[in-house]
Amino acid sequence: MSVVEIGKSAPGFELYDQSENLYRLSDSLGTWVVLFFYPKDNTPGCTAEVCDFNCEYDRLLALGVKLFGISTDSSRSHQRFAQKHQLKFPILSDQQGRVALAYESLVRLGPIKIAKRDSFIINPQGEIAAIYRSVQAKGHGRFIHEKIQQLMAD
């Protein structure tokens, strides 16, 4: 497994969202991408984080940024979660934990695999521009919005 670090190519993926739409990271080349991993749908911290990103979504979209949430929950769980909180962006199902593992964002608790609360900003060339590990859930969407504006200005 390659090491995930700033300046290296972001690990590719193909995952389904809450509506069973397939997303590939390679389809986003040429645009800025934010990937945020979170542990579990419908838990207090994860709900706060996802809803915070939902509040920032229109501002990120106006910058041309693609936003994806990723957890090891099923697409069906994501569908209920997205409907409950009226999410505007895709949340991707990584039930096997392969993508979280590729981003060094997977925790194994016996047979259970969950994603860590980590975020990645990927530049239009498909390289990792920023990594944020073990982030605070509340306010993280705004933080990422500010950071991506700084990166775009450089």
pLDDT along the chain (154 residues), means of 10: 87 96 97 97 91 96 98 96 96 97 95 95 98 92 96 92
10: in domain = no
pTM strictly above 0.85: yes
Query: Per the structure, how many domains does the chain have?
Result: 1
121: in domain = yes
4: in domain = no
> How far apart (Å, rounded) are the C-alpha atoms in residues 154 and 148?
10
| DSSP structure string for 69-135 | EEESS-HHHHHHHHHHHT--S-EEE-TT-HHHHHTT-EEEETTEEEE-S-EEEE-TTSBEEEEE-S-
Cα-Cα-Cα-Cα torsion 141, 66, 82, 75, nearest 10 degrees, comes to -130
Residue 25 lies in domain: 15-153
2: in domain = no
133: in domain = yes
- Which CATH number covers residue 65? 3.40.30.10
122: in domain = yes
Which positions are catalytic? 46
**At residue 68, what are phi and psi to the nearest 5 degrees?**
-135, 130
8: in domain = no
